[in-house]
Structure 1
Amino acid sequence: MNKKILKNFQQIATPIGFEAKKGKDMQKILVISDASIIIEGEKIEFVGKTEEMHKLYNEKDYQVIDMTGKTAIPGFVDSHTHFIFGGYRADEFGMRLRGKSYMEIMNAGGGIISSVKDTREASLEELTEAGKKRLLSMLSFGVTSVEGKSGYGLDKETELKQLRAMKNLDGLTPIEISKTFLGAHAVPKDYVGREDEFIDYMIEEVLPIVKEENLAEFCDVFCEEKVFDIEQSKRLLTAAKNKGFKIKMHADEIVPIGGSKLAVDMKAISADHLLQITDEHIKLMANSNTIATLLPGTAYSLKEDFADARKLIDSGCAVALATDLNPGSCYTESIPLIISLAALYMNMMPEEILTALTLNGAAAIDRASEIGSLEKGKQADINVIDAPSYEFLTYHIAVNSIEKVFKKGKLAYERRDYINV
């Protein structure tokens, strides 16, 4: 049996609980100095003072790893990504630097539709191998669980191919993958003006196979002006919910058409982006169990105003943070960048950021009962920071401080020392 003592941490910092933290409770984290963690199998057996550990457990029964000077936090949960895709869109990034807006690029044939072409042309094996490389990069940033979406097919064959690539990746890396069907990510060229027919196609032709093959846990939709309106989004999500899918939404990113309200009405697990959410709908979210997942990397990449994290939190919402890794509007898997943007441009406190990337991220993929915090009985997903305090996550600006990652109690990543220095 896998039995370890991670001993002598200078500090352990973690939110506590089995559901998302809302509002001011996001700042309430447990901080323990001179601390140790005991792992038995895939689970955490003990978290507490090293002196207390010595009273209760015999070190001779365990593999002991000294963590003097280090800090332990929960593994990060990246709860919104599009990491399976074909091709890249570096040219579009240059176009944006020259002043073109995301919508202008999309209307000119770029954007999501460009990635659709490349993803349709990629083989299942190519998508799987590219996805594996991206997952291993995420692991180096401390990500132990990730949500991945389809959405670069917009047809039956390619949507299923993306989801099958994610299924192929289960067990090929230490990262656990929560899979989301996002067939309604954009309107394909041959359905422009026939968006209702496209929703029918997704409901009648694609959703049943996704369910039959158990390819996804969630269904998502890009609810946005000139993409899918409220009624179209509701129809797709209702059909998905009736088949047993949990619900997520891209909501109120560009125009405040009320996607966040629909998310609350449908009891969605999360509503994501929310750059344009109204005060009225913030109140609705605060009184619901829907997680507000914010994606600062996308606003940064698009040079847009950031979502108002401070207002959302102060109003009582549960806020999660994620990368939105994708080939167009946010090509990054850098958790340190997300942390810095949240701290410096979204006015989030270090404790709120830690909660948003761990326990609330876990809640955004409906896994808060199993992961997202360091406490007895939870899965042993642990990040070791090469620093004496969790506050170095925000203080050491945009730098990766992750030294070791444990996934299900096993060492999954370790940063190597420089060679010949």
Structure 2
Amino acid sequence: MSTGESCPKCAAATISKRSAEPWCPACEWNLDHFEKERRPEIGWRWVDRRLFRTAYWLTERQFAELRDAPSLARAATAARIATTAVSVVLLALVAALFVAGVVLLVHDFFTPINLIGALLVLIAVVLRPRLGRLSALTRDAEELDRGRAPALFAVIDRVAAAAGTPVPDVVLLSADFNASTTTVGVRRRRVLTLGAQLWSVLDPQERVALLGHELGHFVNGDIRRGLVTQAAGSTLGAVAYLLRPDGRRTRTGGLLGMIAEALLDLLAGTLARLVGLLHLLLLWISRRDSQRAEYLADELAAKVAGSAAAIRLSDTSLLYDAIDTVVRREARAGNGAAAWSAAGRQAQTGLAGDIPALRQLSRRTEASLFASHPPAGLRAGLLAARAAQPAAVIVTEAEQARMDEELGAHYERVRRELATAHW
């Protein structure tokens, strides 16, 4: 890990992990370095470099503000106000298009103006905000039944009560090394998805922390789950797509027709780029509030599971590659969730000494204007910097064993899926 070189700023030994450019763990010199191997965000190196610097600065500033705040709570941030305002305007415009289309469609029926009305209605339907569907989530996940998994649902109920959050309407189990919550449909059904790979390797209190964090998104004002603000994430992108010229079209109609089509394509392309840029700007703004919501969810995780468990959960994401590799190895060998857990724990123990360096490195590799989550290292750092909280919900090893027994058939389905997956 040590590079054998000294920091030019404080003379401490510099370090490197995962072939990253060296940095100083003491004074953090060069931690904000833009690496050439970084995945491009726009595609122009000089633009990507400046976007990274901006994202790094904004991410570090937000962390410092929350670290020094007396308490963490929902707030009307500038990012939230801007995103909500734009979303309201977009919804109003789509509604106006629909109303105008209906008026023109029924006005003086069987006239050319009816075609304009039909076109406006069609555009409004295409631009309508997407509320999500449960069927889209169940394609890659299996719904769990409360009657067949009483121990799991009992823990979910206890965590929800301790965190002061609603209970999810639907709980799904997927094969992912992840977990998520969302709200779908007109009835706004709350959905919790647990990734079997992640769930299986967590200890009892880490599972409580995961549930506390995910259920926290139902009450932390996460802008990605708002009924109104969902429009900002889809409408502008749909407008840009509709305006984009079709390069495969065959131009006909003589020279004047070709010139007219070329001019229309130029105008549509320019408008598409402008709308696309506005979409990007709105996305970048809303991501600041999304990252703040993640910190608030972490605070709820610490409240219900204890700060130590919440920090361990955050560190798990730093070791994703190692844990995912050993879990898939065990699945291919025909071993079930118990073997996944043991292998995952062994990998975590072997890499425990790398955690401080990986926390720092995550601040470089995970800083992005597109990131909906703060760097894992900062999430763990914020929990460690604030007052330690005791666990409000305690889950025993016996309860964990009952949960895993209930999920046995589901784990086997996931094992078969992992064993045959190409990665």
TM-score range, shorter chain: under 0.3
TM-score, normalised to structure 1, is: 0.27
Query: Which is bigger in relative contact order (C-alpha 8 A, separation at least 6)?
Result: 1
The structure whose Rg is larger is 2
Write 1 or 2 for the structure with the bigger share of strand.
1
